[in-house]
Amino acid sequence: MNEKLPSEFLNKNDDTFSKFYNEFMSIKDTENLEIEGRIGTIIDKFTNNRIKLNCPHPIILKSNSNYRFQSGVTQSYFEDKICKLKELNFSAVNDRVVLSKGIRYLYEGDKLISCQKKYKEKTIDIYLPGSVYDIRISFNREISVESEKSKHFVKNLIRNRKRKSFLFHEYSLDFTVVENECKDVTNEIEVEVKDFGFSKLEFLDILINLSKLKK
């Protein structure tokens, strides 16, 4: 028998999981709204390792004061998932994201594509004990702003990206290789909602399947 979980965790085998998930996924206003799920690892801040819970079912982490979510997967896992989606149509783009004073500048080559400020509304992390990775689901507002034209423009962070996006139902499955200024490379998998008539359960199922290693 599984040990009783701490109060900050909700077991998917319990009605409270579905209730909390459905309430979290409720949408009151779609203006400038971005809903995305990321694949990564929930890390215990004390051990710096992935958390381990004695439960066979997915678990929602309501409070993450003792944990952090680390986005990204291994290169081999990343390539394996892309290979399994080869029957789907995809688009590819290389771009660059520059963060300055909380504003996100998106470039393709030297051309500025967008200039936005992102406001985080809510986030939950879901631990998947039977999977290789875990999930983070986020609601954000992306507001277009004017570009900073000052000569004192400060680049706080630069990320060069190579992305393949696969369209599936109401979603974009984004596979992105990211390189920062220090030449550190991460392989990121995201699912972004493109149509707000989407199914909450299908969205969760897609994320769970992307978190599993299937041969």
DSSP letters, 173-203, are EEEEEEEETT--EEEEEEEEE--TT--HHHH
Q: What is the pLDDT of residue 2?
A: 38
The answer to whether the CB of 181 falls within 8 A of the CB of 160 is no
| pLDDT at res. 154 | 67
pLDDT digits (tens, 9 = 90+) for 69-101: 999 999 999 999 999 998 889 999 999 999 888
pLDDT at 19: 84
Tokens representing 26 are 């409720």
Q: According to the model, what pLDDT value does residue 4 have?
A: 47
With 0-12 CB in 10 A as exposed, 13-18 as middle and 19+ as buried, what is 161?
middle
The pLDDT value recorded for residue 17 is 81
The label of the residue with tokens 């680049």 reads 155
| CB contact at 8 A, 136 and 190 | no
Which phi and psi angles does 214 have, rounded to 5°? -115, 130
Domains, the chain, ordered by start: 30-211 (3.20.100.10)
Tell me the average confidence (pLDDT) per consecutive run of 10 residues in the chain, 215 residues long.
46 71 91 96 94 84 83 96 91 93 90 92 90 94 80 74 95 96 93 95 92 68
What is the pLDDT, as a whole number, of residue 30? 94
Contacts of 159 (CB under 8 A, 6+ apart): 96, 97, 178, 179, 180
Look at residue 62 in the predicted model and tell me its pLDDT. Answer: 73
Question: Which tokens is 155 given?
Answer: 């680049």
pTM: predicted TM-score of the whole model, two decimal places: 0.88
